[in-house]
Structure 1
Amino acid sequence: MVPLKRRKVVASQTGNTGTEGGDEVKFPQVVLFLLERKMGASRRAFLSQLGRKKGFPVQELFSQTVTHVICENNSVEEVKTWLESRGGSRPAPHLLDISWFTESMRAGEPLEILDRHKLQEQQRDESEVVFFSVPSYACQRRTSLENHNAPLTEALSLLAENAELSEDDGRGVAFGRAAAVLKALPSLVTSMSQLRGLPCLGEHSLKVIKEILENGTSSEVESTKKSERYQALKVLTGIFGVGAKTAERWIRGGIRSLHQLRQAGRTLNRAQQAGLEHYDDINQPVTKAEAELIMETVEKAVASVLPGAQTVLTGGFRRGKLTGHDVDFLITHPEEGREVGLMPKVVSWLQSEGFLLYQKTTRNSYLESKDGPGRPASSMDRFERCFSIFKLSKEEETRTEDPQEETGNGDPNSTKVMDKQSQWRAVRVDLVVSPISQFAFALLGWTGSKLFERELRRWAGHERSMSLSSHALFDNTQSKYLRASSEEEIFAHLGLEYIPPSQRNA
């Protein structure tokens, strides 16, 4: 028996010489290479073995000695691009469709290469190619939840997330803007030529897009997914109350998992303790139905302490999403000033009814007379707010699977199987109180998406010489505040076409 290491060497050498298991090479003048792209690894392995048994040299790795490249469902442009990425070949090999290979296998010898065996140049009518054009700012574009280019946008969004976790905000924004452009496109991207002239697509983003269009995946994205650091940052920042800086510090201290964090005996603040305790629940998506159940409870709490107050479900659910990572509510009263002191009463009611597993309330620190909407420059507003972990009861209980139990014919001494997790789950909930004079701005800011709001502020500053926040809109040219009682009025002040919440999913 050949030792393991020796066997690996033999296998490697066999792959390069084109023989396997002592198969005789009958046609040394023909050296085949089967392109795995679109063919698949298992099919390629099967066909390679078949070729060797028929006496054809088949190489596992492409080299200058290859005379025939066998492809399946590839265009000649794709294969030539692939060859160029490997330094080309002299002389250039035949680029053949799988049909030549299968017919040669049946014949037991290499057949004459006919025109129908050759990969064909794609004849594309320029009039049939869909070229895209979109405005530069996301706040000028309508972006629904329907995404025709999910593989591309998911890849760019992952790179954006990784950059943000690494506190490289510039790169994170660049990838995010590129993803937002692709989300807004009305149909599938099939070639790089369609992207000519589109805004926000930098060199790095275009490289990722090109690789996915050609190979179906991006090597950078795949290596990022597998990166221990990225995985650790994802896990640790998934703890409520833990940001990228804290996670990075823990990673430097050797902590990369929840188990290691628990074992390390780190001192955690109240938010982090609650986040760790309810980690699984908080990192489970919240459904629209669950958000509506929580809203019923919040509305009841608000009505009990201040009749006439209004509660609005904001965030992704207002934009039409069916799931989210948390639930956000904006609360106000039609009479200015009546909202003062509302939050402590609402929180007290929720606590007395056993709905809050954790809560932290911050006071309203915004004063229009002293604080302009863009000073200091920050995306964070300063409303009175309650960050909480909500205890959501489940309507359906988990039962045993004894079919007789449903008819009452089971063992009278048996009991229903029920634990804590079958009775309730923890959900992240934010409550925000706004004066009615600022409500339109708060509603716009808390509806999102995050990039849409960022682009609104950028448009206001760069294109209109204004400062926009979730509190107000200030005209720097006229040195005055521009009032608004609705989102439509804010868009009008900014010189933008009104875009409804369902179209703000940038």
Structure 2
Amino acid sequence: MIPLKRRKVSLTVSQQNDTCRFPHLSIFILERKMGTSRRAFLTRLGRSKGFRIKETYSSSITHIVSENNSGDEVQAWLDNQTGRDTNDTSSSVCLLDIRWFTESMEAGHPVTVQDRHTLQVKPKPNIDPNAMLMKSYACQRRTPLKHHNSFLTDALEILAQNAEYNDNEGRSVAFRRAASVLKALPHRVKSMEDLRSLPCLGEHSQRVIKEILEDGSSREVESTRRSEQYQAMKALTGIFGVGVRTADRWFREGLRSPDDLIRTGQQLNRAQQAGVQYYDDLQKPVTKAEADVISDIVEKAVHAVLPGAEIQLMGGFRRGKEVGHDVDFLITHPEEGKEEGLMPKITNWLEEQGLLLYQKTTRNSYLEKMDGPARAPNNMDRFERCFSIFKLQASAESCTSNSTASVQDVSTGSETERHSDQHSEASDWRAVRVDLVVSPYSQFAFATLGWTGSKLFERELRRWAGQEKHMSLSSHALYDSKQNLYLRAKTEEEIFAYLGLEFIPPSERNA
């Protein structure tokens, strides 16, 4: 008997030599409940008989063949691939039992499809069309920046944030998924009936929504918002360089604010020291006008040390936001390898101009052969990057047309000269968080997708890739576990296509 691994490989070797005798048929064999080796055997058999057997599903498929699946199961799988309404009967795809395929193999040609070959799909009860259009994954939905249900989503996001503060990631994600569904609705929710059949709305979220719809507010949400723990954790995690665990430890030690850290003489690392020193500035939203000025400065810095490099404004601003809490940039160069070691050169240029109040640079530690399929997909990439705090002129918004002036107007000074008592309300500059990321050109499309956000949208993309496509997606690459290979892409559109998803532009990824 030929070993399993050898049989899988031989499929791709021989398939190109088979002649298609029935071009009007395009068959997809569903692996579900069948297994890889049997599907490979049936694929080889079909091609040897002159049938066109496709490896992946596409709109060109005319016949789907499955074994040991009900019609409802195959229809549900098909709906997941196409994003169609289950009640939509316009599809011309034939859902067939394996018997049709085996009889066709014996006959040497496609036999006539009879009732005994066809998988029956039970009609679904009438459901609100709005609900049917709402897919369960956020990466399947278009979520605009402005929506109709902020009075509900703000409440759910407070509970999500509080769950995160309490190290309950599962509950936090559940609340955020519920909020994401409400953001994608094309209308304002007026009653619980509007939520009928919507995905991702757990019992807890529905209780909160019901109370807000009936009473105007939720006692749980208001109690959480006013709680000492929530307010303290929000203040402490708002410090640059402070995570949930550190903030929780400080809270248990009786600390409630940045002032408490100063008063008690807490031991802080460099990032946390900068976070406390510039706390008030970093709590203020960054405007799009300020982001544009910083973009001009970064572009000037990058081109000064690497001509021909490409710079892209990322994060919420790429999704169309007018304000944000920081500014993210992705940098690359069309000639692979020229971007290596770029970040220290950029930061040196910025420091010479007196533009950096704080910076920490990390090297690129990603190795595809080691970190690809073996590494669980998550939101942490391994690019060369710099977490920094920029010193930006307060008049920056009026200088968007002259980035050179913005650079020259920023006063220079050493690290020791920058003290919080010198930075008063009347200061002519402010501190702004800026993240700089350098990506190799071959990974730029994946990095662009990963750094555009939103956070939940990216999480759902990775979940879809793993659970629905048996792929591993990161900001570096897309790996297909079935084919045992990396899928290369030059654009975000290509990545969505690999994943079998409709392309969603950045402005509608605000999940």
**2:207 matched to which residue of 1?**
207
- Find the aligned partners of 1:328 and 1:382 in 2 and give their Cα distance: 16
AA matched with 2:143: T
Structure 2 distance, partners of 1:299, 1:396, is: 16
CA, structure 1 residues 420+156, in 2 after alignment: closer, same or farther (shift >3 Å)?
closer
Secondary structure, counterpart of 1:429 in structure 2 = strand
- Structure 1 CA distance for aligned equivalents of residues 132 and 320 of structure 2: 25
Distance 1:366 1:131, change over 3 A: closer
TM-score normalized by the length of structure 1: 0.69
Read off the aligned partner of 1:452 and give its amino acid letter: F
1:319-468 to structure 2, matched below 5 A, reads: 319-372=319-372, 375-395=375-395, 421-468=426-473
Report what 2:417 is aligned to. Answer: none
Offset from partner CA, 1:416-455 (integer Å, 9 cap, x none): xx96743110000000000000000000000000000000
| Distance of 1:131 and 1:467 partners within structure 2 | 29
Report the Cα distance in structure 2 between the residues aligned to 1:221 and 1:420, rounded to whole angstroms.
34
1:346-394 CA-partner distances (Å, limit 9, x unpaired): 0100011000000000010100121115604431000000000011112
Q: Aligned partners of 1:131, 1:298: CA distance in 2, in Å?
A: 45
For 1:248 and 1:158, the matched residues in 2 are separated by 17
Aligned-partner residue type, residue 208 of structure 1: V
Q: Distance in 2 between matches of 1:489 and 1:171?
A: 33
Separation in 2, partners of 1:198, 1:275: 41
From 498, 503, 508, the equivalent of 1:493 is 498
Q: Which residue of 2 aligns with 1:477?
A: 482
Q: Aligned residue pairs: how many? A: 362
Residue 239 of structure 2 contacts residue 258 of structure 2 at CA under 8 Å; is this kept in 1?
A: no
Which has the greater radius of gyration?
1
8 Å Cα contact 2:293-2:396 kept in structure 1:
no
Check whether the contact 1:236–1:257 (CA below 8 A) recurs between aligned residues. Answer: yes
Q: 1:267 Cα shift? A: 0.5
Instruction: Rate the CA distance shift 1:365–1:494 in 2: closer, same or farther, 3 A.
Output: same
- Distance, in Å, in 2 between the alignment partners of 1:271 and 1:195 is 44
1:16-35, aligned counterparts within 5 Å? none
Q: Cα distance, 1:259 vs. partner? A: 2.1
What is the alpha-carbon distance in structure 1 between the residues aligned to residue 314 and residue 187 of structure 2? 29
Deviations 1:257-280 (A, max 9, x none): 222211111110000000000000
- SS of residue paired to 2:433: strand
Instruction: Answer yes or no: is the 8 Å Cα contact 2:127–2:197 preserved in 1.
Output: no
How far apart are 1:167 and its partner, in Å? 1.1
Aligned to 2:137: 137
- Please list every run of 5 or more consecutive structure 2 residues that lacks an aligned counterpart in the other structure: 1-125, 398-422
Instruction: Specify the SS of the correspondent of 1:422.
Output: coil
Return the letter of the residue paired with 2:258: L
Gap change, CA 1:347 and 1:373, over 3 Å in 2 = farther
Residue type at the aligned position of 1:173: V
Tell me how far apart the structure 2 counterparts of residues 301 and 442 of structure 1 sit (CA, whole Å): 21
Letter in 1 for 2:199: P
Q: Which residue of 2 aligns with 1:64?
A: none
2:468 & 2:175 partners in 1: Cα distance? 22
CA distance in structure 2 between the aligned counterparts of 1:269 and 1:446, rounded to whole angstroms: 26
Cα distance in 2, alignment partners of residues 380 and 128 from structure 1: 39
Q: Which residue of structure 1 aligns with residue 275 of structure 2?
A: 275
Residues of 2 paired with 1:132 and 1:189: CA distance?
16
Q: Distance in 2 between matches of 1:371 and 1:464?
A: 19
Alignment of 1:220-235 (within 5 A): 220-235=220-235
SS of match in other structure, 2:368: coil
1:118-133, aligned counterparts within 5 Å?
133=133
Q: Distance in 1 between matches of 2:393 and 2:142?
A: 37
1:341 offset after TM fit, Å? 1.3
CA distance in 2, matches of 1:419, 1:237: 23
Q: Does structure 1 conserve the Cα–Cα contact (< 8 Å) formed by 2:378 and 2:462?
A: no
CA separation in 2, counterparts of 1:494 and 1:316? 23
| Counterparts of 2:448 and 2:131, CA distance in 1 | 35
Shift of 1:483: 0.2
Secondary structure of 1:308 counterpart = coil
1:253 Cα deviation after fit: 0.8
CA deviation after TM superposition for structure 1 residue 165, in Å? 1.5
SS in 1 for 2:311: strand
Contact 1:445 1:470 (8 Å CA) reproduced: yes
State the TM-score, normalizing by the size of structure 2: 0.69
Shift of residue 196 of structure 1? 1.1
